[in-house]
């Protein structure tokens, strides 16, 4: 921005645009039936898995816009009342049997809520949602090709929501499904090729000493100001030490100061 006023006016315009867009979206939600809202929520969560198809340039919207008939058989169990109780117990308060079901959910905010809910154990109930099978097992195997060999033809399901008709928005513009897939297939990166394409977070966690994992870290650190050439053996204390050696305050010190300021 050229001036403080420009910044204020721009932020004001963006706020109004987001407020209007949010209002339109919520009016659309209000017109949905309960089943449609549940399906929309399922589609939203499923899109996390669709990232692989997006990156491979094989994404087909129709494959992600239906509820499998096996899921539909359990529909009556998930009434609005049960679903709310289940969500609050297993996610927000973490006092259910599946509480703390993943490392991601065990954060300070959730932990405080769990304590205030009247929990008496030392920690939330054990459990994890992280995949126990790391992606590197896919190397030299054809497991995915043996699942649903007939492709989408093997899938049976229904949807009560209208099909997507709009384009997909990217930095290069609004693209059709085919344009989006073609652009993804044309993109090349060593991160998406052997030997690194099957190195996921579980692989890194349990095989960080592997030469291929270390090489992956060194590649991603090539343009880092402080981490160039450090590899995969770094721990949090190393990052603080590196910043201090560079004459910069470590994030741990900044975090402590901010916490003290909040309490004051």
Digit-coded pLDDT (tens) for 162-189: 988 999 999 999 999 999 999 999 999 9
pLDDT tens, 5-61?
999 999 999 999 999 999 999 999 999 998 999 899 889 888 888 988 998 899 999
Q: Which two tokens stand for residue 244?
A: 């201090």
DSSP state of 92: I
Which backbone phi and psi does 90 adopt, to 5 degrees?
-95, -10
Q: Which two tokens stand for residue 214?
A: 């270390």
Q: Is 196 exposed, middle or buried (0-12, 13-18, 19+ CB in 10 A)?
A: middle
pLDDT tens, 79-126?
777 777 666 666 666 555 555 444 444 444 455 555 565 555 555 554
**Residue 152, C-beta contacts closer than 8 angstroms, at least 6 positions apart:** 60, 62, 63
pLDDT tens, 47-79?
888 988 998 899 999 888 899 898 888 888 777
């Amino acid at each position: 921005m050229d001036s403080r006023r420009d910044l204020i006016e721009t932020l004001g315009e963006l706020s109004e645009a987001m407020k209007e867009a949010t209002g339109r979206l919520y009016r659309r939600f209000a017109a949905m039936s309960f089943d449609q809202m549940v399906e929309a929520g399922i589609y939203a969560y499923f899109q996390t898995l669709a990232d692989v198809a997006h990156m491979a340039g094989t994404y087909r919207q129709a494959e992600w816009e239906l509820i499998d008939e096996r899921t539909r058989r359990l529909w009556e169990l998930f009434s609005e009342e049960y679903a709310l109780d289940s969500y609050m117990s297993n996610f927000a308060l973490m006092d259910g049997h599946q509480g703390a079901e993943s490392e991601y959910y065990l954060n300070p905010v959730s932990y405080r809520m769990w304590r205030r809910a009247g929990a008496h154990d030392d920690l939330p109930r054990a459990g994890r949602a992280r995949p126990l099978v790391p992606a590197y097992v896919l190397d030299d195997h054809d497991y995915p090709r043996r699942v649903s060999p007939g492709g989408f033809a093997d899938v049976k399901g229904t949807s009560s929501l209208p099909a997507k008709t709009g384009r997909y928005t990217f930095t290069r513009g609004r693209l059709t499904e085919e344009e989006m897939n073609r652009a993804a297939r044309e993109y090349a990166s060593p991160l998406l090729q052997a030997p690194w394409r099957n190195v996921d977070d579980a692989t890194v966690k349990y095989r960080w000493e592997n030469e291929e994992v270390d090489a992956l870290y060194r590649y991603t650190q090539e343009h880092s100001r402080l981490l160039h050439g450090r590899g995969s053996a770094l721990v949090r204390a190393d990052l603080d030490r590196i910043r201090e050696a560079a004459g910069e305050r470590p994030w741990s010190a900044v975090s402590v100061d901010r916490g003290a300021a909040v309490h004051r």
